Structures are given as C-alpha cells and as structure tokens.
C-alpha cells in the first residue's frame, strides 16, 4: 500500500460527515457543561475551553459541506489533532475523570469506522498513550493504571470490530461492483460499463470512436433445437472468440440476449470494419464443440462510426443497429457498415 493510500478514507463524503457530527456533538456538550458548571474550569482556562468548543462548531459545518475535498494527509491529521486537543483540554481543566476521558473515544471511533486498518490502529495507539499520560499525571498510580487498562481495552476492541466490519463491507462492495460490471455467462462487460466508456470516448475523441453490434445468427433455433444450455455455450464460445481479437482501446460487452457489442476507440488502431470482418470469419471457421459434434455458428455485425450527425452514444447505437439489420436482411454471416465514410481509427 502506498504512503498516501493508508491515509485515504473509505468514503470521503461519509468520513467528512462523520467527523462533522462527532466534532459538533463534542463541542455542544463541552459548551453546555462549561457554561453551567464553574467547577470545570476557571479564569483563562475556562475562556480557552469555551473558545475551543465554539471554534469547533463552524469547523464542523465546513467539514460537513466541503470536507470531502480535503487533502489526503488531513484524514489522519484530523483525529490525531483531536486526540491532542482533547488531552490538552483535560489538562487545562485538571479533569481525568470518566467524563474527561470519554471524548478520547471520538477520534478512535472516526478512525476505526472511516479509515484503513493501518491508520485506525495508529490513532488507537496514540489515543491510549495520551490517556496514559493524562491519567498518570492527574490520578493516583493505582487508579490511573486501572483507568488506562479499561480505556485501552475498550478502544482496542472497538477498533478491531469496526475495522473488520469495514473491511468486510469493502469486500462485499467490491464483489457487487464486479458482478455489476461483468456478465457472468460471457465474461464480457455489462451494458452499463460500455455506456460509461462510450460517453467518455465520444467526449474525448469524437470521430475516433466506432461501435460494433454483433448478433448470433439463428440463435432462437439453436435454443429450440439444442436447448438453452447449448445456446448459453454458443454465446460463451462467441464471446471467447471475440476476446481473442481484443486489444487496448476496446471495450467488449454483452448488451443482452444474444447481442454483443465492441466499442473501438482511437487508441485501438486499425479500422472497426476490419475487426468486424475478422470476427465474422473467425466464428465461421470455429464451430462450437458439442457431444453431438461441432455446431456451426455465424454472426452478423453492424458497424457505425462517430461522424457528423452521429455524435452521441444513442445515435451511435442507432446507427450500428441499422447496419446490423442490413447485415441480417442481406443474408447473415456478414458485416454491414453504416452509410458514410469509415475513418481510420
């Protein structure tokens, strides 16, 4: 993990809002009790406590609204600074009671729930060390040792539970993201991934973008005569052949049913039409192996290029579909290119 990666929160927006809520709660509680209980502090110490708590309120509001834009280093510096500030306030008020120590749980709660394991453990160790210094300086040794042991155990268990829970949640989100991005039958990208890549390519390259839409010929008859499992095998077989022609600058996708698509960007080189011809020939010469013997397959492909009048992804899909219709109506097992010049990609 890079030196900055472990400082990065799992979710910047959630981290900023969590920090804002914790700071606000702490500031309101401190302001309330410092205002009504003179025994908490007196003289300049009282003024310092009130000023620190009052300053924290607009800081919380700023964090809530714009904290997600904070630099990476701030996410670890913030809870560490919170530990230092809480410890300083406890020293200023000479308060090592449970009420004084409990706020030390706030930085640990933030770090364990929002930051990576390394940062969470570091903040927890720092907090326990600060609590030990505070307790040993203000309490009898026997009571200080007991307090630190209980506080340390509580913060340690809290850190472990929250970090493990967060890591399990991250793993689940990553798994769900993968499932949403990859079609399980063909191993190709989903329509959502293709759409995102298409919008980006059109915005970046414009005319350097092309779309191929493939349709497995007579797919319904394969399902009806051989069964749906063989139909699934046929789709997976064609997808594998398509992947064999993949190169950087392409996005291979299953649109749905037996319809596949290839987004070809300028970085891929060559022409989309040439790629389509290669795929048609490859499928024609590579039948699907089955227990009953090889099953011949063929595909029809429509090719469309981004050009004048075809500048949006919707228009590119429509142009490719129109070309695909012409390929199928012209006898299948062939390529049709949408009307217009086919630019080199």
CA torsion sign for 80, 82, 88, 94 is negative
Helix (H, G, I), strand (E, B) or coil at 311: coil
Are 51 and 166 contained in the same domain? yes
**Residues 167, 251 within the same domain:** no
Same structural domain, 57 and 174: yes
pLDDT at 248: 85
Report the distance separating Cα 38 and Cα 31, nearest Å.
12
Strands 299-305 vs 259-264: parallel, antiparallel or unpaired = unpaired
Residue 99 lies in a domain: yes
> How many domains does one find in the chain?
2
Residues 265 and 293 in one domain: yes
Q: Are residues 222 and 171 in the same domain?
A: no
We report the CATH number of the domain holding residue 272 as 3.30.70.270
Last residue of a domain, one of 138, 159, 181: 181
Give the residue from 130, 161, 181 where a domain finishes. Answer: 181
Would you state the pLDDT for residue 151?
Answer: 92
> What is the span of the domain harbouring residue 175?
5-181
- Same domain assignment for residues 322 and 300: yes
Which sign does the torsion angle of CA 67, 69, 73, 75 carry?
Answer: positive
pLDDT given for residue 98 in this prediction: 81
pLDDT, residue 345, reads: 42
pLDDT at site 343: 44
pLDDT at position 41 is 54
Question: Is 344 a domain residue?
Answer: no
Residues 168 and 208 in one domain: no
User: Residues 119, 205: one domain?
Assistant: no
Task: Indicate whether 99 and 41 sit together in one domain.
Answer: yes
Contact 227/292 with Cβ under 8 angstroms? Answer: no
Residue 279 lies in a domain: yes
Task: Write down the pLDDT at residue 126.
Answer: 96
The verdict on residue 108 lying in a domain is yes
In a domain, 40, yes or no: yes
In a domain, 117, yes or no: yes
**Residue 39's pLDDT is what?**
56
* Claim to verify: residue 249 and residue 167 sit in the same structural domain: no
**Both 310 and 205 in a single domain?**
yes
- Give a yes or no: residue 274 inside a domain: yes
Q: What is the pLDDT of residue 341?
A: 44
Among 147, 181, 215, identify where a domain stops: 181
Q: Are residues 203 and 171 in the same domain?
A: no
Predicted confidence pLDDT, tens digits, the chain (345 residues) = 454 677 889 889 999 999 999 999 988 887 777 666 655 556 676 777 778 788 888 989 999 999 888 898 889 999 999 999 889 888 877 888 887 788 899 999 999 999 999 999 999 999 999 999 999 999 999 999 999 999 999 999 999 999 999 999 888 877 777 667 888 899 999 999 999 989 988 887 777 789 999 999 999 999 999 999 999 999 999 999 999 988 888 999 999 889 999 999 876 556 788 999 999 999 999 999 999 999 999 999 999 998 877 788 999 999 999 999 999 999 999 999 986 544 444
Which residues share a beta bridge with 300? 215
Q: Is residue 319 part of a domain?
A: yes
Among 77, 72, 55, 63, smallest CA distance to 14 is for 63
């Amino acid at each position: 993990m890079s030196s900055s990666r472990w400082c990065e929160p799992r979710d910047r927006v959630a981290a900023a809002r969590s920090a804002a809520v914790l700071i606000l709660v702490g500031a309101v509680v401190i302001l309330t009790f410092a205002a009504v209980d003179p025994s908490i502090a007196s003289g300049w110490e009282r003024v310092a406590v009130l000023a620190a708590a009052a300053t924290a309120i607009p800081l919380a509001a700023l964090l809530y609204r714009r904290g997600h834009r904070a630099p990476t280093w701030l996410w670890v510096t913030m809870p560490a600074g919170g530990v230092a500030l809480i410890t300083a306030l406890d020293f200023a008020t000479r308060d090592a009671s449970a009420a004084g120590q409990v706020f030390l749980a706030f930085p640990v709660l933030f770090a364990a729930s929002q930051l990576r394991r390394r940062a969470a453990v570091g903040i927890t160790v720092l907090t326990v060390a600060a609590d030990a210094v505070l307790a040993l300086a203000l309490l009898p040794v026997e009571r200080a040792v007991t307090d630190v042991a209980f506080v340390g155990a509580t913060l340690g268990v809290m850190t472990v539970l929250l970090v493990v829970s967060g890591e399990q949640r991250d793993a689940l989100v990553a798994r769900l993201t993968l499932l949403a991005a990859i079609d399980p039958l063909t191993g190709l990208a989903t329509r959502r991934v293709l759409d995102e890549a298409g919008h980006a390519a059109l915005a970046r390259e414009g005319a350097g973008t092309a779309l191929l839409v493939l349709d497995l010929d007579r797919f319904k008859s394969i399902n009806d005569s051989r069964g749906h499992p063989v139909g699934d095998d046929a789709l997976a077989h064609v997808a594998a052949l398509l992947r064999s022609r993949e190169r950087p600058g392409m996005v291979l996708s299953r649109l749905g049913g037996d319809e596949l698509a290839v987004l070809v960007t300028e970085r891929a080189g060559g022409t989309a039409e040439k790629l389509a011809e290669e795929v048609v020939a490859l499928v024609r010469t590579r039948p699907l192996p089955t227990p009953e013997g090889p099953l011949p397959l063929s595909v029809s492909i429509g090719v469309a290029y981004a050009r004048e009048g075809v500048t949006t992804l919707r228009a590119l899909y429509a142009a490719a579909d129109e070309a695909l219709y012409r390929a199928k109506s012209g006898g299948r097992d062939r390529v049709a290119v949408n009307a217009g010049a086919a630019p080199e990609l």
